[in-house]
Amino acid sequence: MLIGIIGAPNKGKSTLFSALTMIEVDIADYPFTTIKPNMGVGYVTKKCVDAELGVKCNPRNSACIDGTRRIPVTLIDVAGLVPGAHLGKGMGNQFLNDLINADVLIQVVDLSGKTDVQGNLAGYSSPAEEVAMVKEELASWIGGIITKHLNTLSKRKDGDQALYELFTGFRISIEQIREAAQKNALPLSSINWSEQEAASFAGALLQVNKPVMVAANKMDKVSQKELAALKEALPGYVVVGCSAATELALRKAAKAGFVDYTPGSDSFVQKKAPGIGQKNALEFMAKYLKENRGTGIQELLNTAVFGFLKKIVVYPVEDENKFTDHSGNVLPDAVLLTEGSTPVDLAATIHTDLAKHMLYAVDARKKLRLAKDYRLKDGDVIKIVSSAK
């Protein structure tokens, strides 16, 4: 799973990336601070099932803090996108190629409107226009690939297969291609679409293949009024108000031992006496957290994974009575799977041979045998029984 952090230059993408991963990257108030993409690991959160089962977990692939599982996901922060990026302007071609493998995109916008679509300081620039610009550039990018290959596509009766082959490496399924074509009533035999038809198809394809949610950043500089206005201007989009700068400052303060802060919380506990400047900053952040019920950063990531990508958390175990693996670790792994996944899919995340030779699964809670095609539910604790050694 890969989550792409995108947007016009100078909107706070790198600050958001750092806040989620605690990786130091170049952050500055000018365009194209990010040249090469930054890769890192963030953590989605979900209530652990250990308390419900009456045990104390001992995680391996994730962490459990105060009853909350923190499960790793991969993030990529790419160079800023400007109008004409699909034509190579700005860092355009590099930006777009960096996004090929992303499963969901988080577009960061400047809710304060103090920077324009080029990333330069402005009296006011509409964040809704930033969203429209990015959507157009992404669609033009995909549409342009199609129009460049129309000569080849027009000779194929199996246009869906031809497009699938064209987009090899983009992680686009043939079902998604058919769905996008159907939405626009476009034929998939001997494709000879106009540039506008190709762009319309691309827009529909992106909706299902690379959904975009909006991070309305710099909430610490505005109010809920601006956030409500942006949501009204973007019907059909999920918009989350957030302050990446506040989250990053709190995580750094926690790392330095000044505060006790849990990402996603609406408060923190001061542990050391701060200096005058630090005291003012902490008072401001405490007020912000209370008024906005947190920084919005953890909500943003959780929404991307559990909302857009429809992931659930499943706990594989080897001993269904003690909820342990072969080493005695209690609830050792929390695995992210797509809604509708089966025990076979879970087994495949552990080892291909386990899935290949799987016999059945066991619901560790109910001690019930489950069929291979059982649809897993969020929070399931599952034992896989296989003939593989």
Domain boundaries, the chain: 311-386
Q: Which amino acid is at 12?
A: G
| Structure confidence at residue 87 (pLDDT) | 62
Q: What is the phi/psi pair of residue 125, to 5°? A: -135, 130
Q: Which amino acid is at 264?
A: G
| Structure confidence at residue 82 (pLDDT) | 72
| Structure confidence at residue 101 (pLDDT) | 82
Please name the residue that has the structure tokens 């194929």: 156
Do 10 and 31 form a contact (C-beta atoms < 8 A)? yes
Do 107 and 131 form a contact (C-beta atoms < 8 A)? yes
Classify domain 311-386 by CATH architecture: Roll (3.10)
Q: How far apart are CA 323 and CA 253, in angstroms?
A: 36
| Structure confidence at residue 171 (pLDDT) | 83
Query: ∠ CA 157-160-164 to the nearest 5 degrees?
Result: 125
* CA distances for 136 relative to 7, 67, 109, 305, angstroms: 12, 43, 15, 24
**pLDDT tens track, the chain, 389 positions:** 899 999 888 888 889 999 999 875 444 343 444 446 788 999 999 999 999 999 999 999 999 988 999 999 999 988 777 766 566 554 445 666 777 888 999 999 999 988 888 777 877 889 999 899 888 888 888 888 899 999 999 999 999 999 999 988 788 899 999 999 999 999 999 999 998 999 899 999 988 888 899 999 999 999 899 999 999 999 989 999 999 999 999 999 998 888 999 999 999 999 887 777 788 889 999 999 999 999 999 999 999 999 999 999 999 999 999 999 999 999 999 999 999 999 999 999 999 899 999 999 999 999 999 999 999 999 999 999 988 76
| Structure confidence at residue 162 (pLDDT) | 95
Buried/exposed 143-169: b ≥16 CB within 10 Å, e otherwise: bbbbbeeeeebeebeebbebbbebbee
